Structure 1
Amino acid sequence: MPATAPHYEQPYLDLLRQVWEHGDERLDRTGIGTRSLFGATMRFDLRDGAVPLLTTKRVAWKVAAREMLWFLSGSTNIRPLVAEKVHIWTDWPLDRYRRETGKAIDRDAFEARILADDVFAEQYGDLGPVYGKQWVDWPRYEAADEPGLYRRAAGHNQIAALVEGLRTNPASRRHIFTGWNVDELDRMALPPCHMTYQFHVSGNRLSGMLWQRSCDLGLGFAFNVFSAALLIAMLAQQCDLEPGELVWSGGDVHLYLNHAHLVEEQLARTPAGAPKLALTRRPSSIFDYRIEDIAISDYFPQAHIAAPVAV
């Protein structure tokens, strides 16, 4: 009898073990330290609704989906996320607030003030020109009336251009968008980790490649790979295509030294199951999806594994 194909999650678990056992131990900007390997690639089949949700621990896929919708909105303020009880971006502005004011406010109190106080939210909830700003409003300038001077023009919407390109010129090799705006990196709370996406049409199938300069394999990867698969599904629906494959590539792929319990627990588990992703509505544009349009079925993960986020 033919050998059974490995579970789609197994390459991730193999990489998790490789990084933990053989990674280069090094100091990092957070002061926690990591074990790191450079250069990794995984491929995930997205046909027939398949989605690479990890099954060896519970992934809060609705949080990841809400974050993706927030990116597509172009927002750079945590307020819309906090309003939906999404806390994954709060630590960075909270840390800045504590450093600048010296006040030992907790997360709940900080978020409550973000929601209640417009001025406070504008001052302390903004993350700088992170992902969504670059995706849908990349800064452009045009010549002003006075020679040698330039003025800000309407920003470039990379996502709208991508959809148009996929519809009108599917064979192009330029179906790319990126968040790595060199001129604005120092103004971002966190420079983009999942920074460059490229897409490829073959027949009626849309495949996508995500390149991450930096990947927290213990926490971030689960969100990143699901979000990329969701984006491919939405783009495919908008362009009358079907999802094909997700190719994930990581530059600095690492595990934090304080995540030993996460690694050991997860590697002791066996992946199982085949969850499915469905989009229940086709909105008028890529920017009009709602969380209610995204459905996951047959997802029966093992228990969540808590671990601290390094800021």
Structure 2
Amino acid sequence: MRQHHNLLKEILISGEVQFEPRTQEFILGISGRESRFDLRDGFPIITTKNVNPRLLVEELFWKLRGERSVKSLFDANVHIWDANAFQKYLENNDLAKKIPKHTQAWEDEFESWKERLTEGKEDGDLGPVYGHQWRHWTNKNGEEVDQLKKMVSDIRERPGSRYHILNAYNTGDRAEMALGPCPFWDQFTVYGDQLDLTAVQRSCDTILGVPFNISQEATLLGMVAKETELEARTLKHYTINTHLYLGVPPRSDFWINPENVKEFQGRVGEVTKRAEYKDVRDWYLSETSEESGLNFGKDHIPDALTQLAKRPRGLPTLNLKEGSLYDLIEQPANDVVRLEGYEPHRWKTSAVMAA
């Protein structure tokens, strides 16, 4: 998908190095970019690697149901949020300093925690994250506001309104969240029988997160359009802190030296053919320390270069099951959403999510 490749190239060529304190990892990042997708031209999903549609739709349905525990996702074999829920468990029990990130002790305790979650001995609570805010926002009088139902109703009854908004960022609840919302603002606009969506994302893991986020927002647009008898038209996706993870020392030590950064970015900037991204990848791996077993895949640069070496393929078509939005989100993703004609490049990614 051209828009995603443009983001990757811009980060690699002009990104700046920064230490990110929550994940305790280094990133290469840029600030403030817009990507635009016309859903009438096809469903926006990455084709230069395989993105599992079931996983991203299950997570979207989980948000739309208003859940705050990771348990239903875990039981559905969707493990996007496992590490965040575990980290919150450590913090809630004053164990975060005793069991620090990027250590074998953290990995061992994580495995034990997952066993307890399977047995129902842990609740997997993430705090008042995304869906809780969408469906259970609490106003100053202590009353719950269902943003989703209100928004859908308003689109039907007052299509010209400029208040068709889902807001997941509640400053008052932020400290209780395992992780603040990455995409946090969804605003729908109606013109005639066309429905557009503008999505704003504060933190953008461009290898693992952004591909999911783009396709989730497009699915949300399609489902709301179907529910309100409109045609899904344009998705605009604004990414603010737009980054690639560089991993942890000793791998990330390469990026502390400005001369290394300059040479890397110069090599990427000189690429004229897709195959040359593989050459840059091979050079980069020869110049950096090998990632240890514990930290393997935390550096996302190799995957970014591998993706850029692939030619984007045609976009698939989104097909949604008939039924009410509120009924559909209670069903398994594969029973509701079908992508016809999705034929991505298939290769084994090494990238792992930063927790």
**1:31 Cα shift?**
2.1
Corresponding residue to 1:71 among 63, 69, 72: 63
Corresponding residue to 2:210 among 221, 233, 240: 221
Mean Cα displacement is larger for which, 94-103 or 273-282?
94-103
* Correspondences of 1:110-259 after superposition (within 5 Å): 110-117=113-120, 120-122=121-123, 125-142=124-141, 152-153=142-143, 155-257=144-246, 258-259=299-300
**1:276 Cα shift?**
1.0
Distance (whole Å) between structure 2 residues aligned to residue 192 and residue 300 of structure 1 = 30
TM-score, L = length of structure 1: 0.88
Aligned sequence identity (%) = 31
Amino acid at match of 1:121: E
* Correspondences of 1:27-46 after superposition (within 5 Å): 27-29=19-21, 30-46=23-39
Q: Per the alignment, do residues 205 and 190 of structure 1 end up closer, same or farther by CA in structure 2, a change over 3 Å counting?
A: same
Distance (whole Å) between structure 1 residues aligned to residue 12 and residue 4 of structure 2 = 12
Distance (whole Å) between structure 1 residues aligned to residue 189 and residue 309 of structure 2 = 36
What SS is found at the alignment partner of 1:162? Answer: helix
* Correspondences of 1:79-90 after superposition (within 5 Å): 79-90=71-82
CA offsets 1:147-170 (integer angstroms, 9 cap, x no match): xxxxx33x1010001001100011
CA offsets 1:90-145 (integer angstroms, 9 cap, x no match): 0112234456455653655433321322xx322xx100100011000001243xxx
Distance (whole Å) between structure 1 residues aligned to residue 328 and residue 137 of structure 2 = 16
Mean Cα displacement is larger for which, 299-308 or 162-171?
299-308
Corresponding residue to 2:304 among 263, 271, 274: 263
- Counterpart residue number, 1:147: none
**1:188 Cα shift?**
0.4
- Conserved? CA contact 1:208–1:246, under 8 Å: yes
Distance (whole Å) between structure 2 residues aligned to residue 220 and residue 228 of structure 1 = 12
Q: Per the alignment, do residues 134 and 284 of structure 1 end up closer, same or farther by CA in structure 2, a change over 3 Å counting?
A: closer
- Conserved? CA contact 1:70–1:81, under 8 Å: yes
Distance (whole Å) between structure 1 residues aligned to residue 305 and residue 229 of structure 2 = 43
- Conserved? CA contact 2:203–2:242, under 8 Å: yes
Corresponding residue to 1:93 among 82, 85, 103: 85
Q: 2:331 aligned with 1:280, yes or no?
A: no
Distance (whole Å) between structure 1 residues aligned to residue 7 and residue 59 of structure 2 = 25
CA offsets 1:1-40 (integer angstroms, 9 cap, x no match): xxxxxxxx11210210110121011111222111111110
Amino acid at match of 2:40: R
Q: How many residues align?
A: 288
Q: Per the alignment, do residues 253 and 89 of structure 1 end up closer, same or farther by CA in structure 2, a change over 3 Å counting?
A: same
Mean Cα displacement is larger for which, 66-75 or 28-37?
28-37
CA offsets 1:269-292 (integer angstroms, 9 cap, x no match): 110122111102222637645221
TM-score, L = length of structure 2: 0.77
**1:211 Cα shift?**
0.3
CA RMSD of the aligned region, Å? 1.8
What SS is found at the alignment partner of 1:121? Answer: coil
Distance (whole Å) between structure 2 residues aligned to residue 246 and residue 202 of structure 1 = 14
- Conserved? CA contact 1:238–1:285, under 8 Å: no
- Conserved? CA contact 1:44–1:52, under 8 Å: yes
What SS is found at the alignment partner of 1:235? Answer: helix
Structure 2 unaligned regions, length at least 5 = 100-104, 247-298
Corresponding residue to 2:343 among 294, 297, 300: 300
